[in-house]
C-alpha cells in the first residue's frame, strides 16, 4: 500500500487529502493532518473522488453525435472536424459567431486556468460567457471600482476576528467561498470560544445559523437596505473610523450624505426585522474590537448584488476593519495574479462594449450569461451560431435553462470539453473528454489568492492517465495551435515554473520541483495589511462612493414605496436555492455514495404556509413561475421564513439523452427551470436568482 498527498479540487476549501492506494485501487481517502491549511479536515465529497475516477459513465475518448446515436471517434478526427466546422462558421458569419461558456470547475483546474484564455484569444470572438455572472460578478464589480482590480477581494480574517457578520452565505455546508478556510464551522466556533460573536442574516435558519450566536431572517433581495441602514446608524452615532486608511480613501462625505435616506425605522418593515435590531447590529459591529462582514452568494445573486457587495466593503472600511488584522485583508500568494497586474496592466474592464440583443455591459471580457440564449436565438448580424462549453452545465446552472436548451438545439455546431454526457453536453456535436481529479496535477491558482493564510501547494497527479485520455490543458493547447497557427512550447509544469519566477517570495527559490518536496504545502503566514501599496485605483485610494453605486441607489429606492403588485398576488412566494454537503453544483450526482439516502431535492416550506395551502409533508406540489413549472415533494420546516420557499439547484437529471445512470435515478427538478433570465442585477449584469416569485399548488 502506498500513500499520496494532494489537495481536493472539488470546492474552494483546498483540503489536504491523505490517500492510501494499491496499484490503481483507492483504499482510503482521509484528511491530511499535516496539511498546512486544513489540518486534517475533509467533508464527505472528498471520498467521492474515487467514484469520479472509477465511474463507468465517465467519457474517455471523443464522441460524436450522429443520426444513429453517439459514436467513438479518434482525437485526430475530432480535432480536424472541430477546426473545419468552427473555421467555416467564423468565415461565413464572422468571428463572434462562435460563443463560449466556461463553468465552475475551470477555477479548480490548473490546466483550464492556464490554457483556457490563450485558446479563447485564438478564437478571437467577443462572445464569451462564464459561470461568474450566475455567481460572484458583483464581488468583482465592487473590487474593480473600489480597489481598482477585479480580483482584489478582501478576505475575512476569520481566525483573529471578534465579530463575524455572515450575510447570504452558508459556509457550514459550502465550506466557504471567496474565502478559502477549510473547516469553516470550527473556525466559527472558535470565534465564539474566544468570546467573540457570529451573526447570520439569511432567509433560512441554515446550518451556519445553528452555529451562530444570533440569527436574523431577512426577506430575500433586501440586504442592500439593511446595510444602508446599518451605515446610517454608524454615521449618525459617530461610530465611524477609517483607522490607518484615513488618508487613503475618497468619498466618505458623499457616503455619509447618501445613507441619510435609510433610517432603520424606514427600513425595518422592508427587510423583516425591527429597527432596534438593526441599530443593535450596527452598534455591535462598530464597537467590536475587530469585526468583519462577509456577504456571499445570497447577496451576490440578487437584484441588488452590486450594491450589496459594495456596501459590505464599505461597512468593513468605515468601521476601521478593512486591511486590518481581525477584519478583511488582502492576500499575497506566491503566484500572485493580482500582483502581476502591476506588470501586465490587466486589472479588469467594464462596459467596453454591450451585448448585441439586450445591450448589457461587458465585464472583464465577458457578457452576462443570462443573455446567452437570446444571443443564440435572435437572428441578425453577430448572432451566435456555434458554441464551445468547457467544464460547464449551463442548462442546469443558468436562469431559464429550458430556453437555453432550445437555443443549444438550434445551433449549427457545438463542442463540449467535459467529463460527462450530461444535460448540456448532449447538445454538442462532439464531446472532448478530459482527465479530472486524481488524474491531474493541481496548483490552485485561484484559491491561494483567496485563502485566509498565504500558503502554497502543488499536488502531483496520483494516477497516470490512460493512453486514450487527454488532459484539459492538452486539448486546449492543441485547439489553440489550430486556431492561432502557433505552437505553445510550454507544458503545464513549465508554465507554472515560469510564473513562479515572478513570485514576490523570491528568497524561497520556488519552483515546481521544490513544491513537490512539500506535499503538505508551505505556509508563508497570516495575511498582513497591504494598503495603500496594493491598490490599483488611479489615485491610489479606496473609492467609497463611486458614482455607479450611488446612481444605482435610485433603482433600489423604487422598492421603498412598492406596494403589493399584481405579480405578488399571482405568485405570492419567494423562491431561493440551497446547497447540500454531499452535493456539488450539478455534476456530482452520479456518485451513489453522495446521493443515497433521503430525497434531497425537496421544496422547503414553512408550516404556516403549508397549513394555509393544506398540503402535507412529502406531498408532491406544482411550483410555477412566470417562465416554467416543476413538480416536487415538499418538506415542511420552520427553518425557512414564512412566504419563502427553497429548492436546491443543480438537479433535474430526468432529461433524456444523458449518460449518468445514478443521477438519472435521483433526478430531482431544476431550480433554473423556474428562474427568469430577464431578472438581473442591472448594475453588474449578474443573474438575480434569489427571490424568484412563484405560486404553489396542491395537485
Ligand atoms: N438557481 C441557482 N443557480 C445557480 C446557483 C444557485 O445557487 N442557484 N449557483 C451558481 C454557481 S455559484 C455556480 S458556480 C454555477 C455553476 O455552473 P456550471 O459551472 O455551469 O455548472 P457545474 O454544475 O459546476 O458543472 C460543471 C461541469 O464541468 C464538468 N467537469 C467537472 N470536472 C471537470 C474537469 O476537470 N474538466 C472538464 N473539462 N469538465 C469538468 C462537469 O461534468 C459539469 O458538466 O451554478 C450557478 N447556478
Ligand atoms: N457542498 C457544496 N459545497 C459547495 C457547492 C455545492 O454545490 N455544494 N458549491 C460551491 C460554489 S460554486 C459556491 S459559489 C459556493 C457558495 O457558497 P455560499 O455562498 O455559502 O452559498 P450557499 O450555500 O448557496 O448559501 C447562500 C445562502 O444565501 C441565502 N440567501 C438566499 N437569498 C438571500 C438573500 O436575498 N439575502 C440573504 N441574506 N441571504 C440569502 C441562502 O438561504 C443560503 O443560505 O459553495 C461552494 N461549495
Ligand atoms: S470541503 Fe471541499 S475541498 Fe474539503 S474535502 Fe470537502 S469538497 Fe474537498
Ligand atoms: Mo459558484
Mean pLDDT (whole number) for 400-425: 98
The answer to whether residues 475 and 550 belong to one domain is no
Mean pLDDT of 74-83: 98
Let me know whether 407 and 321 are in one domain: no
**pLDDT tens, 149-184?**
999 999 999 999 999 999 999 999 999 999 999 999
pLDDT at residue 210, as a whole number: 98
Instruction: Looking at the structure, tell me whether residues 14 and 75 fall in a common domain.
Output: no
Give the number of the ligand closest to the Cα of residue 681: 2
The predicted model gives 546-563 an average pLDDT of 93
Same domain, 15 and 90: no
Q: b vs e for 533-561, b when ≥16 Cβ sit within 10 Å of the residue's Cβ?
A: ebbbbeeebbbbbbebbbebbebbeeeee
What is the predicted pLDDT for the residue at 565?
67
Q: Is residue 344 part of a domain?
A: no
Q: Is residue 28 domain-resident?
A: yes
**C-alpha torsion sign, points 559, 563, 565, 569:** positive
In a domain, 348, yes or no: no
In the chain, the number of structural domains is 4
Per-residue buried b or exposed e for 233-260, using 16+ beta carbons within 10 Å of the residue's own CB: bbbbeebbebeebeebbbbbeebbebbe
What average pLDDT does the structure give for the chain? Answer: 97
Which CATH number fits the domain that encloses residue 512? 3.40.50.740
| Span 642-689, pLDDT tens digits | 999 999 999 999 999 999 999 999 999 999 999 999 999 999 999 999
Give the integer Cα–Cα distance in Å for 460 and 515: 10
pLDDT in tens, 196-234: 999 999 999 999 999 999 999 999 999 999 999 999 999
**507-533: average pLDDT:** 94
Q: Which residues contact 367 (CB under 8 A, 6 or more apart)?
A: 127, 128, 129, 133, 355, 360, 375, 685
- pLDDT > 80? residue 27: yes
Tens-place pLDDT, residues 423-457: 999 999 999 999 999 999 999 999 999 999 999 99
| Atom of ligand 3 at shortest range from CA of 31 | 5
Residue 158 and residue 211 in one domain: yes
Average pLDDT estimate for 77-84? 98
Q: How high is the pLDDT of residue 504?
A: 82
For residue 431, what pLDDT is reported? Answer: 99
C-alpha grid cell, residue 595: 446521493
Determine the atom of ligand 1 nearest the C-alpha atom of 440: 35
Within a domain: residue 357? no
Same domain, 484 and 568: no
Helix/strand/coil for 119: helix
Residue 353 lies in a domain: no
Residue 1 is classified by DSSP as -
Distance 694 CA to ligand 3 centre (A): 33
Q: What is the CATH number of the domain that holds 611?
A: 2.40.40.20
pLDDT score of 281:
98
pLDDT digits (tens, 9 = 90+) for 327-350: 999 999 999 999 999 888 999 999
Inform me whether the pLDDT recorded for 244 exceeds 80: yes
Question: 251 and 394 share a domain?
Answer: no
Mean pLDDT of 471-498: 97
- pLDDT class of 566 with cuts at 50, 70, 90: low
* Residue of 170, 199, 637 to mutate, ligand 2, most atoms within 8 A of C-beta: 170
Structural domain span for residue 50: 2-54
Same domain, 542 and 575: no
119 and 70 in a single domain? The answer is: yes
CB-based pocket (< 6 A), ligand 2: 11-12, 104, 135, 167-171, 173-175, 177, 201-204, 206, 218, 220-221, 223, 296-299, 302, 576-581, 583-585, 690-691
Treating both helix axes as pointing N-terminal to C-terminal, what angle do 223-236 and 305-318 enclose, rounded to 10 degrees?
30
| pLDDT of residue 563 exceeding 90 | no
What pLDDT shows up at residue 510?
92
For residue 11, which atom of ligand 3 is closest to its CA?
Answer: 2
Check pLDDT > 90 for residue 569: no
From the list 108, 131, 113, 32, the residue with the least C-alpha distance to 436 is: 108
Whether residue 507 is predicted with pLDDT greater than 90 in this model: the reply is no
Q: In terms of domains, do 153 and 252 share one?
A: yes
Same structural domain for residues 71 and 152? no
Amino acid at each position: 500500500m502506498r500513500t499520496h498527498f494532494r489537495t481536493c479540487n472539488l470546492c474552494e476549501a483546498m483540503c489536504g487529502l491523505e490517500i492510501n492506494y494499491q496499484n490503481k485501487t483507492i483504499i482510503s481517502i482521509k484528511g491530511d493532518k499535516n496539511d498546512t491549511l486544513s489540518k486534517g479536515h475533509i467533508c464527505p465529497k472528498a471520498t467521492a473522488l474515487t467514484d469520479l475516477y472509477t465511474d463507468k459513465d465517465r467519457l474517455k475518448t471523443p464522441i460524436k453525435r450522429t443520426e444513429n446515436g453517439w459514436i467513438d471517434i479518434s482525437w485526430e478526427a475530432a480535432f480536424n472536424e472541430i477546426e473545419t466546422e468552427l473555421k467555416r462558421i467564423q468565415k461565413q458569419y464572422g468571428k463572434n459567431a462562435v460563443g463560449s461558456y466556461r463553468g465552475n470547475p475551470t477555477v479548480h483546474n490548473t490546466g483550464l486556468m492556464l490554457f483556457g484564455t490563450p485558446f479563447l484569444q485564438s478564437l478571437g470572438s467577443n462572445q464569451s460567457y462564464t459561470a461568474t455572472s450566475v455567481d460572484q460578478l458583483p464581488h468583482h464589480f465592487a473590487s474593480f471600482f473600489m480597489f481598482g482590480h477585479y480580483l482584489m477581494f478582501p478576505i475575512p480574517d476569520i481566525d483573529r476576528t471578534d465579530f463575524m457578520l455572515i450575510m447570504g452565505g452558508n459556509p457550514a455546508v459550502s465550506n466557504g467561498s471567496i474565502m478559502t478556510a477549510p473547516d469553516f464551522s470550527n473556525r466559527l466556533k472558535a470565534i465564539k470560544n474566544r468570546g467573540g460573536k457570529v451573526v447570520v442574516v439569511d432567509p433560512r435558519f441554515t446550518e451556519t445559523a445553528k452555529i451562530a450566536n444570533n440569527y436574523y431572517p431577512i426577506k430575500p433581495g433586501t440586504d442592500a437596505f439593511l446595510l444602508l441602514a446599518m451605515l446610517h446608524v454608524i454615521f449618525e452615532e459617530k461610530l465611524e473610523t477609517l483607522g490607518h486608511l484615513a488618508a487613503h480613501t475618497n468619498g466618505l462625505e458623499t457616503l455619509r450624505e447618501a445613507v441619510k435616506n435609510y433610517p432603520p425605522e424606514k427600513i425595518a418593515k422592508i427587510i423583516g426585522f425591527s429597527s432596534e435590531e438593526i441599530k443593535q447590529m450596527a452598534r455591535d459591529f462598530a464597537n467590536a474590537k475587530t469585526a468583519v462582514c462577509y456577504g456571499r452568494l445570497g447577496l451576490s445573486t440578487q437584484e441588488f448584488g452590486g450594491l450589496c457587495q459594495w456596501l459590505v466593503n464599505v461597512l468593513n472600511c468605515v468601521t476601521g476593519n478593512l486591511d486590518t488584522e481581525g477584519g478583511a485583508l488582502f492576500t499575497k500568494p506566491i503566484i500572485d495574479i493580482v500582483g502581476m497586474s502591476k506588470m501586465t496592466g490587466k486589472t479588469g474592464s467594464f462596459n467596453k462594449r454591450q451585448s448585441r440583443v439586450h445591450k448589457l455591459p461587458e465585464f472583464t471580457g465577458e457578457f452576462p450569461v443570462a443573455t446567452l440564449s437570446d444571443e443564440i436565438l435572435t437572428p441578425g448580424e453577430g448572432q451566435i451560431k456555434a458554441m464551445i462549453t468547457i467544464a460547464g452545465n449551463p442548462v442546469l446552472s443558468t436562469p431559464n435553462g429550458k430556453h437555453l436548451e432550445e437555443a443549444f438545439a438550434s445551433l449549427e455546431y457545438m463542442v463540449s470539453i467535459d467529463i460527462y454526457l450530461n444535460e448540456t453536453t448532449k447538445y454538442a456535436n462532439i464531446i472532448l473528454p478530459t482527465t479530472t481529479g486524481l488524474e491531474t496535477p493541481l496548483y490552485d491558482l485561484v484559491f491561494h489568492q483567496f485563502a485566509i493564510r498565504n500558503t502554497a501547494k502543488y499536488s502531483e497527479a496520483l494516477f497516470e492517465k490512460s493512453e486514450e485520455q487527454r488532459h484539459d490543458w492538452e486539448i486546449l493547447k492543441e485547439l489553440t495551435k489550430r486556431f492561432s497557427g502557433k505552437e505553445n512550447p510550454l507544458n503545464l509544469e513549465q508554465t507554472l515554473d515560469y510564473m513562479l519566477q515572478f513570485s514576490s517570495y523570491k528568497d524561497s527559490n520556488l519552483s515546481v520541483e521544490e513544491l513537490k518536496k512539500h506535499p503538505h504545502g508551505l505556509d508563508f503566514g497570516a495575511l498582513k495589511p497591504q494598503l495603500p501599496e496594493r491598490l490599483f485605483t488611479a489615485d491610489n485610494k479606496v473609492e467609497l462612493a463611486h458614482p455607479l453605486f450611488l446612481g444605482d441607489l435610485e433603482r433600489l429606492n423604487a422598492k421603498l414605496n412598492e406596494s403589493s403588485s399584481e405579480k405578488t398576488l399571482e405568485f405570492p412566494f419567494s423562491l431561493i436555492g440551497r446547497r447540500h454537503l454531499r452535493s456539488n453544483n450539478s455534476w456530482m450526482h452520479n456518485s451513489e455514495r453522495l446521493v443515497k439516502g433521503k430525497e434531497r431535492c425537496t421544496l422547503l416550506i414553512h408550516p404556516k404556509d403549508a397549513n394555509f395551502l393544506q398540503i402535507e409533508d412529502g406531498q408532491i406540489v406544482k411550483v410555477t413561475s412566470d417562465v416554467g413549472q416543476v413538480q416536487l415533494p415538499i418538506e415542511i420546516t420552520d427553518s425557512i421564513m414564512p412566504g419563502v420557499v427553497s429548492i436546491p439547484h443543480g438537479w433535474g437529471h430526468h432529461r433524456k439523452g444523458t449518460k449518468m445512470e445514478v443521477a438519472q435515478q435521483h433526478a430531482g427538478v431544476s431550480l433554473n427551470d423556474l428562474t427568469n433570465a430577464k431578472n438581473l442585477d442591472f448594475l453588474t449584469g449578474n443573474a438575480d436568482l434569489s427571490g424568484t416569485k412563484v405560486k404553489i399548488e396542491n395537485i
